[in-house]
């Protein structure tokens, strides 16, 4: 009985404590809401809708279902319905992509206080332009798949590569994003490649220019910068950075939109954790760059370049 009393009281207390703390919420709301009018916080409080990260990621998967028909769906595609399949998928991608591009263009206009004309039509035009490029994209990606098969003795089949190789996924998303980047679509390409980055650890800027038959093995930690140029049949491994030279803060701003990242010529191979830096650095055709090297000067064609054998300090643990 006394026990019951204790419980009842506690019940009231529980509701009471919750209430005590909830009463603090309005003041926090007030403070947060007022912060949105200030300049020391970022927010997107305004009447116009913005592109949706989630919707853009959806378009990436829609594009993948078209580029690799039959792989990423549970229903069956055969000769009978392959045309219907492409038709419905392309129509859906057209609608989703043109809306996001329109939102991105409008958002950019508003940000720059520009007059935003024909944004809907421009979105549709860019979307259909992207769709028109998909057949060629399929041919290009087929070269990447073959390069992966030839470059990795652990690969058992093409299917395994399409299903599970993160390098192929990252390159596929890069090629999608690069095509949109080439059409000057703002914001969307970068959201796409960062999505791939988040899934694979491979960070390829949509502005990079990469030739056919490109293969990234394992891939985690790869960084390929905005103004990198990569030729045909290049192969790189995990942890490779194709980056800009280190710079002081004051120099950074002057470099926006300049060539800051290296050039890799046809048939070059760059092994794991190698770092290649600088806009004037060229890795010549057919050269092989060994793992963990640090390169800030050009390497001529047909060269093999490896780290000199390190002097290592051995300690006999038993002695220590």
CB of 175 to a second copy, least distance (A): 14
From CA 223, how far away is CA 239, in angstroms rounded?
8
CB of 121 to a second copy, least distance (A): 4
CB of 100 to a second copy, least distance (A): 12
CB of 306 to a second copy, least distance (A): 5
113 binds a second copy (CB under 8 A): no
CB of 63 to a second copy, least distance (A): 12
Residues 163-182 that bind a second copy (CB under 8 A): 163-166
207 binds a second copy (CB under 8 A): yes
Which of 61, 184, 209, 307 touches a second copy by CB under 8 A?
Answer: 307
Which of 59, 60, 80, 228 touches a second copy by CB under 8 A?
Answer: 80
Residues 91-110 that bind a second copy (CB under 8 A): 91-92, 94-95, 98, 107
CB of 82 to a second copy, least distance (A): 5
- Total residues interacting with a second copy, rule: CB under 8 A: 174
Q: Is 200 exposed, middle or buried (0-12, 13-18, 19+ CB in 10 A)?
A: buried
**Which residue number, 263 or 267, has a Cβ lying nearer to a second copy?**
267
Q: Which long-range CB contacts under 8 A does 273-278 form with residues at least 24 apart?
A: 273/221, 273/237, 273/238, 273/239, 273/240, 274/237, 274/239, 274/240, 274/241, 275/240, 275/241, 275/243, 276/240, 276/241, 276/242, 276/243, 277/241, 277/243, 277/244, 277/245, 277/246, 278/244, 278/245
Residues 125-154 that bind a second copy (CB under 8 A): 125, 127-128, 131-132, 134-135, 138-139, 141-142, 145, 150-154
CB of 251 to a second copy, least distance (A): 9
209 binds a second copy (CB under 8 A): no
Query: Measured between alpha carbons, how far is residue 117 from residues 109, 114, 121, 186 in Å?
Result: 9, 9, 9, 16
**Which residue number, 181 or 263, has a Cβ lying nearer to a second copy?**
181
Q: Is 273 helix (H, G, I), strand (E, B) or coil?
A: coil
CB of 171 to a second copy, least distance (A): 14
Residues 10-49 that bind a second copy (CB under 8 A): 10-11, 14-15, 17-26, 28-33, 35-36, 40-49
From CA 307, how far away is CA 295, in angstroms rounded?
11
Identify the helix (H) or strand (E) that includes residue 215.
strand 215-217
From CA 199, how far away is CA 175, in angstroms rounded?
16
Q: Which residues contact 181 (CB under 8 A, 6 or more apart)?
A: 189, 206, 207
Query: Measured between alpha carbons, how far is residue 66 from residues 82, 96, 176, 309 in Å?
Result: 10, 14, 12, 48
**Which residue number, 36 or 280, has a Cβ lying nearer to a second copy?**
36
Which of 63, 171, 191, 234 touches a second copy by CB under 8 A?
Answer: 191
305 binds a second copy (CB under 8 A): yes
DSSP string across 119-133:
HHHHHHHHHHHHHHT
From CA 194, how far away is CA 173, in angstroms rounded?
9
CB of 180 to a second copy, least distance (A): 14
Residues 236-295 that bind a second copy (CB under 8 A): 238-239, 241, 243-244, 246, 248-249, 252-253, 255-257, 260, 269, 271-273, 275, 277, 286-288, 290-294
From CA 80, how far away is CA 58, in angstroms rounded?
26
Which of 83, 184, 209, 280 touches a second copy by CB under 8 A?
Answer: 83
């Amino acid at each position: 009985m006394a026990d019951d009393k204790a419980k009842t009281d506690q019940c009231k207390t529980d509701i009471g404590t919750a209430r005590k703390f909830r009463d603090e919420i309005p003041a926090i709301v007030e403070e947060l809401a007022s912060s949105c009018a200030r300049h020391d916080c970022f927010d997107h409080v305004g009447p116009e809708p913005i592109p949706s990260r989630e919707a853009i990621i959806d378009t990436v998967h829609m594009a993948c279902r078209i580029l690799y028909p039959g792989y990423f769906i549970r229903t069956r595609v055969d000769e009978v319905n392959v045309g219907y399949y492409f038709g419905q998928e392309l129509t859906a991608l057209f609608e989703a992509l043109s809306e996001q591009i329109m939102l991105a263009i409008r958002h950019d206009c508003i940000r720059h206080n520009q007059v935003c004309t024909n944004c809907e039509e421009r979105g549709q035009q860019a979307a259909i332009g992207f769709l028109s490029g998909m057949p060629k994209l399929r041919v290009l990606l087929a070269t990447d798949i073959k390069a992966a098969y030839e470059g990795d003795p652990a690969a058992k089949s093409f299917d395994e590569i399409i299903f599970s190789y993160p390098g192929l996924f990252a390159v596929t998303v890069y090629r999608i994003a690069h095509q949109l980047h080439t059409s000057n679509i703002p914001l969307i390409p970068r959201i796409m490649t960062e999505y791939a980055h988040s899934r694979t650890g491979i960070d390829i800027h949509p502005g990079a220019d990469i030739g056919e038959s490109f293969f990234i093995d394992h891939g985690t930690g790869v960084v390929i910068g905005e103004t990198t140029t990569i030729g045909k049949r290049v192969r790189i491994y995990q942890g490779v950075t194709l980056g800009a030279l280190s710079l002081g803060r004051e120099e950074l701003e002057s470099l926006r939109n300049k060539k800051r990242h290296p050039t890799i010529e046809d048939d070059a191979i760059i092994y794991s954790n190698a770092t290649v830096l600088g806009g004037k650095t060229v890795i010549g055709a057919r050269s092989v760059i060994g793992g963990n090297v640090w390169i800030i000067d050009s390497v001529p064609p047909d060269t093999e370049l490896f780290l000199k054998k390190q002097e290592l300090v051995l300690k006999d643990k038993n002695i220590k």
